[in-house]
Structure formats: structure tokens, C-alpha cells
């Protein structure tokens, strides 16, 4: 096995499977990483008591999700929209994104070590982080023997379907686990308020995105390459899950619009009207 496959174990294993095209190896490598992250996220939701989550842990999850969110929407956009794959650059970019997520987890665990399990996770994260750095350095220096760049068109359809799946899934999670969490806090607290805004905002995001898709479906294209199609479906799921943050922001925007439209704006209009009437009377 070549040295680069030994360093990047996942890619090394994929390269041993004869039925997988060389051009699909990177996509499959990223898919495996996505599945692992979604599995961990799902297991934490299913088996960890909602009361055990701290604010710091929630913030760490949001930052790690934001890193991957930006990676999908900004870094991978050339591959998603145009289908252009600069293989070596994409490999390095993926490893950098993965390393940043691991770094967030390492920092959080270092500051919150409480059990032997957390120590074990910290060791595993640290080993993976170091290996990622080695891979990044190696691939920046050694450029021989890599797959040539290629073009794979399409994938927007799978991306949107994945987004819809993730966005609807996270709103179901919010609806189910929200009341369980709110039982532990004051009914008049900010958490209840934020939960309601998240539900309303996320529902609005889903409706607006579906409306946009229906009006512009001709701009979306299907990828007939199975690896890219699956990858973008998982990309969509991750974007859809993170869209709960957009939902919360949208909820606050809707609240502000409601307060302005039905509260302050009528008062301002009445005040302006009285002022105009007073000026007319004064000039009469």
C-alpha cells in the first residue's frame, strides 16, 4: 500500500475496492465522514439525557456545525454548482475542515473533563487531529500519484432533497425534545420563548425554500454519478440540520416585523397624521 494510503487509512481502504472508480474515492471518503458525524449526532440525541447538556456543549456543537456549514456552502460550492473537482485541493480542504471541527471538540473536552469516557474521546480526537495535520502537510508537499482533476455535473436536486429531509427532521426533534427540556426551566424563561421562535422560524424557512424550489426547479440539476449524488444528499442533510439556527434568526425577524407592523408603525402613522393636521390648521 502506498505511503499516502497508509497515512489516510480511509482512502487506503477505499482504494482496495476494485468496483469503485478512482474519481469517486474522494466523494466516498467524505460520505463516510458525514455518516460518522450524523451517527454520533443521532446517538447523542437518542441516548443522552437532555438535562445533561450544558450551554458550553451546545455552543461547541453550534461552532462545529458552523465550520462544516461554511465548508459545504462556500468551499464545496464550485464542485456543487459547476462540477469542477480539483482533487488535491479538495482533499486538503476537507482535512482542514475536519481538523477545525476536531479542534473545537478538543478545546471543549480539555475545559470540561469529567469522566474516563471524555478522556478517551479526547485521546481519540487528538490522535485524529494529529493524523489530519500529517495528511495535510504530506499532500501539500507530495503531489505525485493523485487522481487527475475532473468534472461531474449536477447534484443540486439531491442537495435540496437532503436539505428538506434535514430541516424537517430537526424541527421534529425540536418539537419532541423541546417540551422535555422546558419542563426543567421556568415557563416564562428565554428558553421557552426561543423554542417557540425556532419552531415558527424553521417552519417559515421550510415553506420559503420549497416555494423557491418549485419556482426555480429548472435551475436544479440531478447528478447521475452515484457518489456525487449521495454526497450532496448528505451535504443537504447537514445544511438542513444547521438551518435551525436560520429558523431561530427568522423567528426573531418575524417577531420584529410583527411588533413594528402592528405596534410601532400604526402609532407612528397616527402621530404623523396628527402632526400634519396640526400644521394644516396652523397655516389656515
pLDDT band (50, 70, 90) for residue 70: very high
Calculate mean pLDDT across residues 22-51: 79
Please determine, for residue 68, whether its predicted confidence score (pLDDT) is greater than 50.
Answer: yes
Q: Please state which of the ranges 1-10, 59-68, 77-86, 170-179 shows the lowest mean pLDDT.
A: 1-10
Q: Please state which of the ranges 45-49, 159-163, 195-199 shows the lowest mean pLDDT.
A: 45-49
Domain boundary among 106, 132, 152: 152
Residues 114 and 160 in one domain: no
Per-residue model confidence (pLDDT) at position 72: 93
Residues 194 and 265 in one domain: yes
Domain boundary among 129, 152, 175: 152
Please determine, for residue 22, whether its predicted confidence score (pLDDT) is greater than 60.
Answer: yes
Domain boundary among 118, 136, 152: 152
Residues 3 and 126 in one domain: yes
Domain count, the chain: 2
How far, CA to CA in Å, does 90 sit from each of 33, 140, 147, 200, 268? 14, 12, 12, 37, 54
Please determine, for residue 3, whether its predicted confidence score (pLDDT) is greater than 60.
Answer: no
Residues 133 and 89 in one domain: yes
How far, CA to CA in Å, does 155 sit from each of 21, 209, 236? 18, 17, 10
Distance CA 178, CA 251 (A): 16
pLDDT digits (tens, 9 = 90+) for 115-136: 787 788 889 889 989 988 988 8
Per-residue model confidence (pLDDT) at position 173: 86
The alpha helices in the chain, defined as continuous H runs, are: 3-7, 9-15, 25-47, 55-70, 77-81, 87-111, 116-141, 156-182, 190-215, 226-259, 265-283
Q: Please state which of the ranges 47-61, 150-164, 165-179 shows the lowest mean pLDDT.
A: 47-61
Calculate mean pLDDT across residues 197-218: 91
Mean pLDDT of the chain: 82
Residues 32 and 130 in one domain: yes
Per-residue model confidence (pLDDT) at position 210: 93
Calculate mean pLDDT across residues 49-58: 70
Residues 140 and 176 in one domain: no
Residues 122 and 162 in one domain: no
Nearest 5°: the CA angle 23, 3, 13 is: 50
Residues 114 and 174 in one domain: no
Residues 47 and 125 in one domain: yes
Per-residue model confidence (pLDDT) at position 208: 93
Residues 11 and 90 in one domain: yes
Residues 145 and 162 in one domain: no
Higher-confidence residue: 158 or 5? 158
Could you list the residue range(s) of the whole structural domain that residue 219 is in?
Answer: 156-284
pTM: 0.84
pLDDT digits (tens, 9 = 90+) for 258-272: 887 777 767 776 767
Per-residue model confidence (pLDDT) at position 167: 94
Residues 50 and 99 in one domain: yes
pLDDT band (50, 70, 90) for residue 1: very low
Amino acid at each position: 500500500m502506498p505511503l499516502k494510503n497508509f497515512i489516510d487509512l480511509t482512502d487506503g481502504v477505499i482504494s482496495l475496492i476494485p468496483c469503485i472508480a478512482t474519481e469517486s474515492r474522494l466523494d466516498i471518503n467524505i460520505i463516510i465522514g458525514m455518516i460518522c458525524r450524523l451517527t454520533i449526532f443521532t446517538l447523542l440525541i437518542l441516548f443522552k439525557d437532555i438535562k445533561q447538556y450544558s450551554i458550553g456543549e451546545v455552543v461547541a456543537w453550534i461552532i462545529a456545525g458552523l465550520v462544516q456549514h461554511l465548508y459545504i456552502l462556500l468551499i464545496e460550492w464550485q464542485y456543487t454548482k459547476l462540477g469542477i473537482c480539483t482533487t488535491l485541493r479538495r482533499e486538503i480542504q476537507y482535512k482542514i475542515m475536519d481538523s477545525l471541527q476536531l479542534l473545537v471538540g478538543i478545546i471543549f473536552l480539555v475545559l470540561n473533563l469529567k469522566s474516563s469516557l471524555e478522556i478517551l474521546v479526547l485521546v481519540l480526537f487528538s490522535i485524529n487531529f494529529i493524523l489530519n495535520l500529517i495528511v495535510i502537510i504530506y499532500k501539500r508537499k507530495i503531489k505525485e500519484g493523485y487522481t487527475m482533476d475532473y468534472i461531474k455535473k449536477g447534484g443540486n436536486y439531491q442537495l435540496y432533497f437532503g436539505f428538506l429531509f434535514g430541516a424537517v427532521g430537526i424541527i421534529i426533534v425540536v418539537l419532541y425534545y423541546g417540551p422535555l427540556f422546558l419542563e426543567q426551566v421556568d415557563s416564562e424563561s428565554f428558553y421557552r420563548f426561543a423554542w417557540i421562535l425556532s419552531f415558527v422560524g424553521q417552519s417559515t424557512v421550510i415553506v420559503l425554500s420549497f416555494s423557491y424550489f418549485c419556482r426555480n426547479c429548472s435551475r436544479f440539476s440531478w447528478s447521475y454519478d452515484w457518489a456525487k449524488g449521495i454526497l450532496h444528499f448528505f451535504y443537504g442533510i447537514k445544511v438542513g440540520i444547521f438551518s435551525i439556527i436560520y429558523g431561530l434568526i427568522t423567528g426573531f425577524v418575524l417577531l420584529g416585523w410583527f411588533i413594528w407592523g402592528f405596534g410601532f408603525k400604526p402609532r407612528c402613522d397616527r402621530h404623523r397624521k396628527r402632526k400634519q393636521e396640526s400644521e394644516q390648521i396652523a397655516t389656515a
